[in-house]
Amino acid sequence: MSHDLNIVNAAVDAALPTALTELAEMIAIPSVAAKSDSPMEEGAAKVAELLKKRGFEAELIATFGAPPVVFAQNLSAGPDKPTVLFYNHYDVQPAEPLDLWDSDPWTLRIDGDICYGRGATDDKGHISARLMAIDALLAANNGTLPVNVKFIVEGEEEVTSLHLAQWIDENRDLLDADVTVWEFGGVDHYGTPEIICGLRGIAYLELHVQTIAYDGHSGFIGSLFENAAWRLIWAINSIKGPDGRILIDGHYAPVIPPDDYDRELMEKLPNIEDSLLAEYNMPNFLGDVRGVEAKIQQVFEPTATVCGIGSGWQGEGAKTVLPANAMAKMDFRLVPDMDPETVIAALQKHLIDHGFADVQVHYLGGQRPGRVDPRHPMVKKCIDTARTVYGCEPVVVPLVGGSGPIYPFIKTLGQPVVTCGVGYPGGRAHAPNENLRISDLLLGAKHTAHFMLSLLDA
């Protein structure tokens, strides 16, 4: 088995044309988990097909009527060899608003170093990086893999991995491995690789209000009946005021603030303040924080975000209507050791206590936060191989602001989690013109391959 850096890197480079073709095939399938008519089976089947091409056993496993989970493995390295588990997802966020895309979100468009399309970075581009690493290791090793490899590729990541935790719990043996390689990661604003050691949790919900039986004439009944839009506005206003403090009783009680080592690591993260402010065209951050305080606020603070709200007439012109119904979507980002079920229960109590028993909470799903010790030996291997591939000192990120189903991997499977990613800060995940840099794809694939090889070292 060759550990030669250059041979493996050349093999990754050689894998690029096939990877881009396959990435285009994946992006062409609009596997939007949030929409019930999306071709989720097709998205799963495509991933299984690409893994089978590489000698994997792969199957689509129905999960309680939800989009299937792709489980695949290639254990040809043998039981004395270590096993890596790749966690990825084939589902994507909705592409709307479509008019803000410069090209069709479901058609891979390559412009120089940049590949555009929904899922280009989140998460189909990461699947491509894994496939390139495998192609390179097979090519450099006479068609066999030096370590055992498992894949779990789900179809509900963008809708809070509704069924994954239970599925993992019921398939612990199947998923046994030495380490999980996470579905994202990549470089920061300065091109430095980030090794990510934790994720916030999330609770996603809808709020619904109905007052009158149907929309009415605001001039006729506007003085007499409650307005569903106002009820919802007042209820949401009671959850968080303009100072940003979440007003649900006990919300901050389980929060574990960053410790000294976390602060030290956060200090070392490069400053992306100016580029963030420029990217979003904002004069300052909330609370006017700067420096390490901004970095800490970005990830160590619980959030309450109104993701959407809708009621009444939103079309052109003046419709004088008293809305009967109103709806909002919210996410709460959770830091260790909050948990979503507790947050939802406290929110329901808060609404009742504040006179909003008429505001219904529909819990759409959630995830617990999870962290790995940044000093874990597997994290060290990930850091070391990143240093080799990227040619610079990686940054170690104790916690990131996004969420994912990391908790069952760490707690249920007991595996350390590492990141070998292809993302960059301009990738516009979840937004129009989502994109992936080919140079990042190559580096991320090389990092993946070298990390896999590093498992063979003591």
Within residues 29-58, the interface with its own copies by CB under 8 A covers: 33-36
Among the listed residues 143, 355, 377, 426, the single contact to its own copies using CB under 8 A: 355
Rule CB under 8 A: say whether 365 interacts with its own copies.
Answer: yes
Residues numbered 270 to 299 that lie near its own copies (CB under 8 A) are 276, 279-282, 285-286, 294, 297-299
CB of 59 to its own copies, least distance (A): 26
Q: Which of 68, 155, 216, 369 binds its own copies (CB under 8 A)?
A: 216
Binding residue (CB under 8 A) for its own copies from 10, 225, 263, 346: 225
Considering only 233, 246, 255, 346, the residue that binds its own copies (CB under 8 A) is 233
Q: Which is nearer to its own copies, 153 or 304 (CB)?
A: 304
The crossing angle, in degrees rounded to 10, of helices 5-14 and 438-454 is 140
Beta bridge partners of 363: 205
DSSP state of 246: B
Spatial distance between the Cα atoms of 113 and 438, rounded to a whole number of angstroms: 5
What does each C-alpha distance from 74 to 51, 68, 178, 278 come to in angstroms?
A: 9, 20, 15, 45
Task: List binders of its own copies among 105-164 (CB under 8 A).
Answer: 158-160
Q: Point out which span in 50-58, 236-244, 247-255, 256-264 binds its own copies (CB under 8 A).
A: 236-244
Q: Which of 8, 47, 207, 229 binds its own copies (CB under 8 A)?
A: 229
The residue (of 219 and 377) whose beta carbon lies closer to its own copies is: 219
Which candidate, 168, 165, 146, places its Cα nearest to that of 75?
146
Closest CB 274 distance from its own copies, rounded Å: 13
Which of residues 55 and 432 has its CB atom nearest to its own copies in the complex?
A: 432
| Terminal Cα-to-Cα distance of the chain (whole angstroms) | 16
Out of 5, 45, 212, 346, the residue judged to bind its own copies by CB under 8 A: 212
For residues 203 and 410, which CB has a smaller minimum distance to its own copies in the complex? Answer: 203
User: Residue with structure tokens 């980002």?
Assistant: 333
Mask for 320-349, x = binds its own copies (CB under 8 A): xxxx--xxxx-x-x----------------
Question: Looking at residue 362, what DSSP letter applies?
Answer: E
Query: Should residue 247 be labelled a site residue for its own copies when binding is judged by CB under 8 A?
Result: no
From residue 229, give the alpha-carbon distance in Å to each of 212, 233, 236, 330: 11, 6, 11, 16
Tokens 């068609």 found at: 143
Interaction with its own copies in 392-431: which residues (CB under 8 A)? 400-403, 429-431
Q: What is the nearest approach in angstroms of its own copies to the Cβ of residue 279? A: 7
Which positions from 65 to 104 touch its own copies by CB under 8 A, shown as an x/- string? ----------------------------xx-xx--x----
DSSP 224: T
Q: What Rg value do the Cα atoms of the chain yield, rounded?
A: 23
Q: How far is the CB of 287 from its own copies (least distance, A)?
A: 9
**Residue pair 163/246 in contact by the 8 Å Cβ criterion:** no
Question: What would the two tokens of residue 372 be?
Answer: 């790995």
Question: Which segment (129-137, 185-193, 210-218, 369-377) binds its own copies by CB under 8 A?
Answer: 210-218
For residues 233 and 352, give the distance between their C-alpha atoms in angstroms, rounded to a whole number: 15
**Chain-centroid distance, C-alpha 174:** 23
- Cβ 423 to its own copies shortest distance, Å: 11
Q: Does 217 participate in binding its own copies (rule CB under 8 A)?
A: yes
> How many residues are present in the chain?
458
CB of 136 to its own copies, least distance (A): 30
Contact predicate 102/433, CB 8 Å:
yes
Burial class (CB in 10 A: 0-12, 13-18, 19+), 78: exposed
Across-strand partners of 179?
Answer: 84
Question: Is residue 6 part of the contact set for its own copies (CB under 8 A)?
Answer: no
- DSSP 8-state symbol, 417: E
Contact between 316 and its own copies per CB under 8 A: yes
Q: Which of 16, 247, 361, 364 binds its own copies (CB under 8 A)?
A: 364
Q: Which member of 6, 224, 288, 458 binds its own copies (CB under 8 A)? A: 224
Q: Which residues neighbour 103 within 8 Å (Cβ) at sequence distance 6 or greater?
A: 109, 116
